[in-house]
Structure 1
Amino acid sequence: MRVVMFGYQTWGHRTLRALLDSEHDVVTVVTHPASDHAYEKIWSDSVADLADRHGVPVVLRNRPDDEELFRLLKDADPDLIVANNWRTWIPPRIFGLPRLGTLNIHDSLLPRYAGFSPLIWALINGEKEVGVTAHMMNDELDAGDIVVQRAVPVGPKDTATDLFHRTVDLIAPVTTEALALLASGRTEFTPQDRSLATFFHKRSEEDIRINWDWPAEALERLVRAQSAPYPAAFTFHRGRRLEILSAVVSKGRYGGTPGRIFYREGDGVVIVAGADARTGRNHGLALTRVRTGDGRELPAGEYFTSMGGYLTARP
């Protein structure tokens, strides 16, 4: 098959690598220009550089909706477009152009976690598994029929970085299997149950600000979800930003006001958590390692020299 590839960052790079290793002919690659967005500088293997090394024509676009690109793609005469981590809307006249349509590779178990940063959102929400889905593109984002889907478990100590490495390794086999099914002439695939669909926005600074009204279990997952190289979850202590690099759910239950710096437990310092912390039924979040605004990393037990006072969402 003649294939056009739309993609960006390491997800797109892995997809293009799988296409180049396949029996199919990659005739054009469309990718985004480099970005300064914090999350787009992470896992940023270059799709353009890989295509260049293999002599595949590269087109740079932020949005794929101009006449020049449409004519170029029409002249390329693709049987299939394969997309992964394309960051903007692909219009119907583009995704419907190839004879077989457009196959999108998405790093979630659709129909749940459509949209952006699915691994981080899934980890925060306590999902037991994550994965990769290859589906046919239609008018609704991440909503087309499922061609291939593979899952991996989420462990109790996994970080978003762990899940990235586990799922990115699924891209090549999922892509290869989906291509084989399409090349065989199969056209009927599994419709998504739209009653189960969830759609998430891009993560931003506000999404990593700690809200001490959350239960400790959710806050512990937030810290793991924002593991390096992602921006760390943060709070404020005495008006200064404090990043939380590691934390565990406390063994004891602590009552009082959310955000209170309360008790030394093992190697951690327990912060009261949960909107109903006044009941005394909640576990706290035991901070174990922090980073100050000037970049110093140290054990929480060294940073908090005395108990009392509060951690807050704002200075």
Structure 2
Amino acid sequence: MNSKEFLNELKKYSNDLLVSMSFDQIFKEELLKLYPRKIINCHAGKLPFYRDRNILNWALINDEKEFGISVHFIDKGINTGDIILQKTYEIKDSDDYTTLLNLCHKECASLLYESLILFLEDNVKAYKQKRKKKGGG
């Protein structure tokens, strides 16, 4: 993704938006400069509280009553960009990692779709993340 070859290939196209979901690489500055505020990510965590990896595990370990899914702009930090959409979901006593993961797959797709509609309608009202207040994941 961050290779010169890939970046050169991207430059051949007129991309309005790049979308990331469950991607295992950090976007480097050269890519971010090519598409300022045009790269979004769906993160299975309530930002800014759960920015790292294995968020669903941490939500269960921390005995959270809910978890969040966030669509945000990608910036040079890790899951620190302005939030476009965020929704929370109840964690039931019967939930485990698998049930939450299945819900995330479904809901990330829905939130990304909603975000794309906002972009098409030129109606994105992203907001800055506040400081992280609690730990875990």
Q: TM-score, normalised by structure 1?
A: 0.41
Maintained 8 Å contact 1:152/1:166: no
- The one of the two structures with greater contact order (alpha-carbon pairs below 8 A, sep at least 6) is 2
Contact 1:133–1:146 (8 Å) recurs in 2: yes
Q: SS at the partner of 1:88?
A: coil
What residue is the counterpart of 2:103 in the other structure?
166
- The alpha-carbon distance between structure 1 residues 117 and 184, as it changes in their structure 2 partners (threshold 3 A), is same
Counterpart CA distance in 2 for 1:198 and 1:96 is 31
1:139-189 CA-partner distances (Å, limit 9, x unpaired): 111011111112210112311111111222101210011111122223541
Structure 1 position 195, deviation (Å): 3.2
Partner of 1:185: 122
Which secondary structure state, in structure 2, belongs to the residue aligned with residue 170 of structure 1?
helix
Alignment correspondent of 1:176? 113
Give the structure with higher Rg (CA): 1
Q: Which amino acid aligns with 2:50?
A: Y
How do 1:45-56 and structure 2 match up within 5 A? none
Match of 1:143 in 2: 80
Q: Tell me what 1:94 maps to.
A: 31
* Structure 1 unpaired stretches of 5+: 1-63, 201-315
1:263-309 CA distances to partner (integer Å, 9 max, x unpaired)? xxxxxxxxxxxxxxxxxxxxxxxxxxxxxxxxxxxxxxxxxxxxxxx
CA shift for structure 1 position 108: 0.8
Q: Residue 76 of structure 1 aligns to a residue in which SS?
A: coil
TM-score (norm 2): 0.89
2:2 counterpart of 1:65: yes
Q: CA deviation at 1:130?
A: 1.2
Structure 2 counterparts to residues 1-315 of structure 1, below 5 A: 64-98=1-35, 100-196=37-133, 198=135, 200=137
SS of residue matched to 1:194:
coil
Structure 1 residue 138 displacement after superposition? 1.0
Per-residue CA distance 1:100-156 (angstroms, 9 max, x = gap): 520111011111111211001111111111131100111111011111112210112
Structure 2: 5+ residue stretches without partners: none
Matched residues in 1 for 2:41 and 2:134: separation?
16
List per-residue Cα deviations over 1:57-93 (Å, max 9, x = no partner). Answer: xxxxxxx222111101111221111001111211122
Identity of aligned residues (%): 26
Q: Does the 8 Å CA contact 1:84/1:105 hold for their aligned counterparts?
A: yes
State the Cα RMSD in Å: 1.8
